[in-house]
Amino acid sequence: MVAFSAQGHLNPMLRLGKRLISHGLHVTIATTHLQPGRRLFKPSSSSSATGHDIDFLFYSDGLDGRKVDIDTFMDSLSQHGPTNLTKLIHQKRLCCIVSNPFVPWAANVAHDLGIPCAMLWIQPVALYAVYYRYYRNLNPFPTLTDPDLTVNLPGLPPLRTEDLPSFVLPTNTFGAFSKLFSEMFGAMEKHASWVLANSFHALEADVIINSSKDLFPVVPVGPLVDPSLLGKGEEEEADGAVNLWEVDHSCMEWLDEQAAGSVVYVSFGSLATLSADQSASLERALKEGRWPFVWVVKGTEAGELSTSSGGGQGIVVAWAPQTKVLAHRAVGCFVTHGGWNSTLEAVAAGVPMVVYPQWSDQPTNAKLVEDVFGVGVRVRENGDVKMVVGSEEMGRAIREVMDGPKSEQIKGNARRLKIAAGEAVAAGGEGTSKVSVRKFVDEIVGR
């Protein structure tokens, strides 16, 4: 498996790897060297019932630890990655390479080695459909002359500009990602034998069925976080996560003392950081609503916030054992940026969400949470999407999920989807994702 070295990419790869070893395969995850001073906090045991461990291999991105902008990084990775990866793996007896969308050239490496390649799509199938149709010009999307065009795609609700991923908007300034997506769909159509997705049939049935009609077929194998393991495991992550930061477990004991369903868990994933204004209105909303909270604040600001904002009502950590927190009976609401791993972890744990999306796929994930899954609300100011919303609006969104008029319906949907998530992957069962993983393994082993 070739993983892009980011938290949200490593977790689904590692979790799929665990599924594959449970079917008797050996799994190696290759990723680029970490920045100097960084380390990978691996699960205490990534082995399966078969006794195999997941090996990690690190190859050079050609930058030797130099910090550069994202365009330079992506260029260097695609220039040096193929040769450096090939050198590292040429003596291994591989039956398949599973690549990740951000390393599209891995499909070419597999082709040159004469082995099949699968791609693991780490966002919802809805996003696969949106990007595919955008980069292959299959449907009209907003342009500079028609910036407010509503996008109608098979199997999805109408998507307004505010619901679309930022990379397909005419205002997108991240050229590296446009290039990447084009390369990805090219490599996929040319060399990939499978596209596996971290989703499940019951969650996205409409878009899965519609996409299979005219797009390169996508096979849901998720949720890759294992619902039966959520929250279990003593120390490190029994859910198969790997961490780029050290996990602070101190919030777990504190959670034990809180009433069931009373706590708001706040986390914006590994990349997004809130501006001072965004943090201030969220902090005010939590204070005014008197909800106990666990808030993940990455980096040095954590200390400051814990004295100013924790103050008995809440607890601030720099990096939480997220799946354990979500599975804790005290947690009643997840205020999230809507990253797909976080969203799916909350779905699998049955926790309703308040989504405050920042960029990338997050606006579309927010739309799914609110209008397709019905398990939460998107933060709005007087009905409009804004980057900074006031504390009253933040409080209103949290209240809507915790105990507002719609909360019973939202909680009911969350309970139902939690059950469906478990059924899709249950060990010993015949759930849709379980069967698909088995078929995938049979095919690569049988070749």
Chain residues binding ligand UDP by CB under 6 A are: 7-8, 11, 241, 243, 267, 269-272, 296, 319-320, 322-323, 339-342, 345
Rounded Cα distance between 353 and 363, Å, is: 14
CB of 358 to ligand UDP, least distance (A): 8
Least distance in angstroms from the C-beta of 239 to ligand UDP = 8
Is the Cβ of residue 267 or residue 309 nearer to ligand UDP in the bound state? 267
* Nearest distance, CB of residue 231 and ligand UDP, angstroms: 12
> For 396-404, which contacts have Cβ atoms below 8 Å and span 24 or more sequence positions?
397/354, 398/264, 398/285, 398/286, 398/289, 398/291, 398/333, 398/335, 398/354, 399/289, 400/354, 401/332, 401/333, 401/352, 401/353, 401/354, 401/376, 401/377, 402/261, 402/264, 402/291, 402/332, 402/333
Copy the structure tokens of residue 182. 């084009």
Q: Are 301 and 291 in contact (CB under 8 A)?
A: no
Report residue 47: phi and psi, to 5°: -90, 165
β-strand partners of 27 = 54
Q: Which is nearer to ligand UDP, 99 or 336 (CB)?
A: 336
d(CA 338, CA 56): 28
DSSP sequence for 125-141? HHHHHHHHHHHTT-S--
Give the integer Cα–Cα distance in Å for 10 and 140. Answer: 33
- Which of residues 223 and 339 has its CB atom nearest to ligand UDP in the complex? 339
- Is the Cβ of residue 281 or residue 343 nearer to ligand UDP in the bound state? 343
Residue 116 CB, nearest distance to ligand UDP (Å)?
27
d(CA 97, CA 47): 20
Q: What is the smallest separation between the CB atom of 376 and ligand UDP, expressed in angstroms?
A: 14
Give the C-alpha separation, 346 to 317, whole Å: 19
| Shortest distance, position 184 Cβ to ligand UDP, whole Å | 17
Instruction: For ligand UDP, give the closer residue by CB, 21 or 251.
Output: 251
